[in-house]
Amino acid sequence: MSTTDRRAFIKAAAALPLAAAAGTTYAQAAKAVPAPQMPQMPQTPDMIIDMHAHALSERFLADLVKKPQAGLSCMRNDKGEFHLFRDGIPVGKSFDPHLVDLPTRLASLRRRHVELQLFAPPPGLLCAPGYATGVDLARLLQDQQDDIVHASEGLMEGVAILALGEPSRAADELKRSVEKHGYRAAMIPTTAGGRPLDDPVYEPLFKMVEKLGITLIMHPASSTRPDTLGGYDAYEVQVLVGWPGETSLAVARLIFSGFFEKYPAIKLVLCHGGGTVVFLRGRLDAAYEANGWEAEPYFKKNITKPPSQYLSQLYYDSCALSPDSNRWVIEMMGVDHVVFGSDYPFDIGDPEGRRSVPVIDSLAAPDRAKIYRGNAAALLARKGI
């Protein structure tokens, strides 16, 4: 797609209303948001692989209303809104109706020339304070993803859900799910309900990830109670500020624990442009290089090179949410390590690409093609060890 045409598309998308009207079903509520009238697209656009999106099957939620499964239950109010519960505790707010509105999503993907969108359930279903997904829930969520994939006309692909809540079974369950569903990627939260990912109990799982050659997509998930974090429980700032910090904390722990030395073949994509970790490259390196009063042995104990060099091995999605942030990530990490990610359908994301597309379109054609499609295609080409 030319820069001019794509920018016209972005301008039109930006004018859309963001709030969905209430309806008798989620799909109907989502359809109440007017569809954009887009300009005619050129015949040879840049095709896009979207590595970061979320979706749920409406049938899955309706079934949970009738019968709880794997600790999940659901109720539906008079407006058609679904409210999920885990062991009787609410899982966030009512769900965005666009999570289950497949027709509107597919129209958006076609209009924007997204040839494939990878998706996972909303992060609150995968991780919560003191809770991480077990095998039964992982299987339930993966099976409901199949409903979406089969109805998506080849435009959507699910990802594996890791059973981090049952470490002794997680590796075998991942192997089973990849063999059954054909997954090429897995969504991994920043912690397992508070248990860090560098915990030795996950060594068999990460060895399996390397063996299978799948890509890990890291997404924060509010795994710590906000009222324990000194102010994060106000104004929803845990999602705004805490989530990027969760990603940075998780990655820093993985680096200093020697994770990337132990699993050099693991491919890791960081959602939301990597949180804040790109900006912290210099600070992490300063700790590694410190030889005075602040020098600590654990800054070098498990690694053989500065932290920034491990960060350069990772991949970062384009959902950084401002032109300056996107330019910074691309400049610092390089066009070979940035992939397109929309966080569809969430408002505090980039569901129509209007926050990232102008920046990507300003790049030279070969670089643009890498971010839109080429880097993701390479990541999804499974090359196990």
What is the pLDDT, as a whole number, of residue 79? 83
DSSP structure class, residue 45: P
The CA-atom distances, in angstroms, between 179 and each of 19, 71, 212 are 40, 25, 10
Tokens of 259: 């994770």
Tokens 């505790």 -> residue:
89
Contacts of 34 (CB under 8 A, 6+ apart): 16, 17
- The answer to whether residue 106 scores a pLDDT higher than 90 is yes
What is the pLDDT, as a whole number, of residue 236? 72
**Which range has the worst mean pLDDT, 29-38, 71-80, 140-149?**
29-38
3-state secondary structure of 282: helix
What is the pLDDT, as a whole number, of residue 33? 41
- 3-state SS string over 48-111? EEECCEECCCHHHHHHHHHCCECCEEEEECCCCCEEEEECCEECCCCCCHHHCCHHHHHHHHHH
Q: Rounded to whole angstroms, how far apart are CA atoms 264 and 77?
A: 49
Please give the share of the chain, as a percent, with pLDDT higher than 90.
Answer: 66
Tokens of 270: 């960081």
- The answer to whether residue 235 scores a pLDDT higher than 90 is no
- The answer to whether residue 51 scores a pLDDT higher than 60 is yes
- Domains of the chain (ranges; CATH) run 3-57+96-379 (3.20.20.140)
Residue 161 gets the label, from left (phi > 0), alpha (psi -120 to 50) or beta, of beta
pLDDT band at 176 (very low <50, low <70, confident <90, very high): very high
The residues facing 216 across adjacent strands are: 186, 268
Q: Is it true that the peptide bond before 129 is cis, omega within 30 degrees of 0?
A: no
Report which of residues 293 and 380 the model is more confident about.
Answer: 380
Average pLDDT over residues 226-254: 77
Would you say 163 and 134 are in contact if contact means Cβ atoms under 8 Å apart?
Answer: yes
pLDDT band at 128 (very low <50, low <70, confident <90, very high): confident
What is the pLDDT, as a whole number, of residue 312? 98
- The answer to whether residue 100 scores a pLDDT higher than 50 is yes
User: Nearest CA to 357 among 378, 341, 346?
Assistant: 341
- What is the per-residue pLDDT across 182-214, written as a single tens digit (0 to 9) for each? 999 999 999 998 899 999 999 999 999 999 999
- The answer to whether residue 305 scores a pLDDT higher than 70 is yes
- For 164, other C-beta atoms within 10 Å of its C-beta total 25
pLDDT band at 19 (very low <50, low <70, confident <90, very high): very low
Run of H or E including 154:
none
Contacts of 94 (CB under 8 A, 6+ apart): 77, 81, 82, 83
Tokens of 207: 């060895």
The CA-atom distances, in angstroms, between 287 and each of 254, 274, 283, 307 are 15, 20, 6, 9
The whole-model pTM stands at 0.86
pLDDT band at 45 (very low <50, low <70, confident <90, very high): low
Q: What single letter denotes the amino acid at residue 57?
A: S
- For 136, other C-beta atoms within 10 Å of its C-beta total 16
What distance separates the 2 farthest-apart alpha carbons in the chain? 65
Q: What single letter denotes the amino acid at residue 89?
A: I
Instruction: State whether the Cα torsion 30-38-120-59 is positive or negative.
Output: positive
What is the pLDDT, as a whole number, of residue 200? 97
Cα 183 from chain centroid (whole Å): 15
pLDDT band at 20 (very low <50, low <70, confident <90, very high): very low
DSSP structure class, residue 344: B
Q: Rounded to whole angstroms, how far apart are CA atoms 337 and 281?
A: 15
Tokens of 277: 């970790």
What residue ranges in the chain does DSSP mark as E strands? 48-50, 72-76, 82-86, 89-90, 114-119, 127-128, 131-132, 156-158, 160-161, 185-189, 191-192, 195-196, 215-219, 267-270, 315-317, 338-339
Contacts of 43 (CB under 8 A, 6+ apart): none
Q: Rounded to whole angstroms, how far apart are CA atoms 303 and 289?
A: 12
Contacts of 145 (CB under 8 A, 6+ apart): 55, 57, 119, 120, 121, 158, 159, 181
What is the pLDDT, as a whole number, of residue 299? 86
pLDDT band at 40 (very low <50, low <70, confident <90, very high): very low
DSSP structure class, residue 280: T
Tokens of 314: 């990772």
pLDDT band at 385 (very low <50, low <70, confident <90, very high): low
